């Protein structure tokens, strides 16, 4: 075949492909169901329990409610199984629910298969108690920089396989796993929301989801709004902190662009404080909540 014949046959083939895809897209258009009515996004403020002053969890929950929050995030995952009664009693009869369990590291991409299996089992064992306290999810980090870990390509494959298996246990327990991308100084393996979302897409189980943390995003993302759009339906939790990891409003970090992204995807889950406080917490935390509400209003789409 000379060059002219080759070009002619290529053009003909391209025409056929275009024709076929035009037919396919018309068929798709005919068969596509009407898009589901997307609920407007909501700002549901939460805080990690350790951030709020108070002698008991109940006292902290009551304080959060009086400040307008609707979620409390539980820390110290290993103690959760023994705290089920305490946590359920603490939120009983209030407007506050458990927004998440911040669990952390489970050796899921460790080079040692036995350690991966043991970590996966610990995480599976946590799913029941997390579901029982009504937690929307369990926050996990595949590995921090100081942990032994498989080379990246291998680690991603191992992680996708394990998340499918553990995610199914989480789903059945009424909760979900939530991968947290961190900044490169803490966890090079998983840094951007889009990357975490692509792992969830490959796992393809509603029990495996992800989250975003405004503090880490400040270092790793080029656009808060873009990051949340890429995360889309896989995004189920947010950590709130300023650029210097203080309360929102205690430095120049704005949340408006990110909130715009959350509104675009119809975000329905919690935004939870994970930060330190400059000044008196009882005064500064409610002030920060009012700033967040103001910036949520400013985020027009």
Least separation in angstroms between CB 235 and Mg ion: 14
- C-alpha 164/C-alpha 66 separation (Å) is 39
Q: Name which of 269 and 274 has its Cβ closer to Mg ion.
A: 274
Q: Is 224 within 8 Å of 257 (Cβ atoms)?
A: yes
Q: Which residues contact 136 (CB under 8 A, 6 or more apart)?
A: 98, 99, 100, 175, 176, 236, 237, 269, 270
Q: Name which of 132 and 274 has its Cβ closer to Mg ion.
A: 274
Q: What are the start-end ranges of the E strands in 36-137?
A: 44-48, 71-75, 97-105
- Judged by the rule CB under 5 A, the positions of this chain that interact with Mg ion are 213, 239, 274
Least separation in angstroms between CB 139 and Mg ion: 7
Least separation in angstroms between CB 160 and Mg ion: 22
- C-alpha 199/C-alpha 183 separation (Å) is 17
Least separation in angstroms between CB 274 and Mg ion: 5
Least separation in angstroms between CB 211 and Mg ion: 8
Distances, alpha carbon 107 to alpha carbons 50, 56, 181, 211, in Å: 25, 32, 16, 19
What are the φ/ψ torsions at residue 177 (nearest 5 degrees)? Answer: -85, 145
Any idea which residue has 């103001």 for tokens? 294
Q: Name which of 158 and 217 has its Cβ closer to Mg ion.
A: 217
Q: Name which of 102 and 208 has its Cβ closer to Mg ion.
A: 102
- C-alpha 154/C-alpha 144 separation (Å) is 16
- Interhelix angle for 256-264 vs 281-298, to 10°? 60
What burial letters (b/e) apply to 241-267, b meaning 16+ CB within 10 Å?
Answer: bbeebbbbbbeebbbeebbbbbbbbeb
Q: Is 181 within 8 Å of 193 (Cβ atoms)?
A: yes
- C-alpha 220/C-alpha 198 separation (Å) is 16
Q: Name which of 116 and 176 has its Cβ closer to Mg ion.
A: 176
Least separation in angstroms between CB 165 and Mg ion: 25
**What is the token pair recorded at 42?**
């909501």
Q: Name which of 116 and 267 has its Cβ closer to Mg ion.
A: 267
Q: Name which of 169 and 247 has its Cβ closer to Mg ion.
A: 247
Q: Name which of 132 and 213 has its Cβ closer to Mg ion.
A: 213
**What is the token pair recorded at 260?**
């715009």
């Amino acid at each position: 075949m000379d060059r002219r014949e080759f070009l002619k046959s290529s053009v003909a083939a391209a025409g056929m492909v275009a024709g076929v895809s035009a037919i396919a897209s018309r068929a798709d258009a005919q068969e596509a169901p009407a898009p589901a009515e997307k609920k407007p996004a909501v700002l549901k403020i939460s805080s990690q329990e350790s951030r709020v002053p108070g002698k008991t969890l109940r006292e902290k929950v009551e304080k959060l409610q009086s400040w307008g929050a609707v979620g409390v995030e539980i820390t110290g995952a290993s103690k959760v199984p023994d705290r089920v009664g305490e946590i359920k009693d603490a939120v009983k009869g209030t407007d506050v629910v458990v927004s998440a369990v911040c669990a952390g590291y489970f050796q899921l991409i460790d080079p040692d298969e036995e350690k991966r299996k043991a970590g996966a089992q610990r995480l599976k064992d946590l799913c029941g108690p997390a579901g029982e306290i009504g937690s929307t999810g369990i926050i996990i980090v595949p590995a921090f920089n100081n942990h032994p870990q498989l080379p990246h390509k291998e680690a991603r494959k191992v992680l996708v396989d394990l998340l499918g298996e553990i995610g199914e246990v989480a789903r059945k327990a009424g909760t979900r796993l939530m991968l947290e991308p961190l900044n490169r100084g803490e966890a090079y393996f998983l840094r951007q929301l889009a990357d975490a979302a692509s792992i969830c897409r490959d796992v393809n189980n509603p029990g495996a989801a992800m989250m975003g943390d405004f503090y880490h995003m400040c270092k790793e993302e080029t656009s808060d709004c873009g990051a949340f759009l890429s995360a889309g339906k896989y995004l189920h939790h947010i950590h709130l902190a300023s650029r210097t990891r203080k309360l929102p409003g205690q430095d120049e970090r704005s949340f408006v662009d990110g909130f715009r992204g959350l509104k675009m995807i119809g975000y329905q889950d919690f935004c939870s404080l994970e930060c330190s406080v400059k000044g008196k917490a009882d005064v500064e935390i409610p002030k920060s909540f009012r700033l967040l509400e103001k910036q949520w209003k400013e985020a027009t789409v």
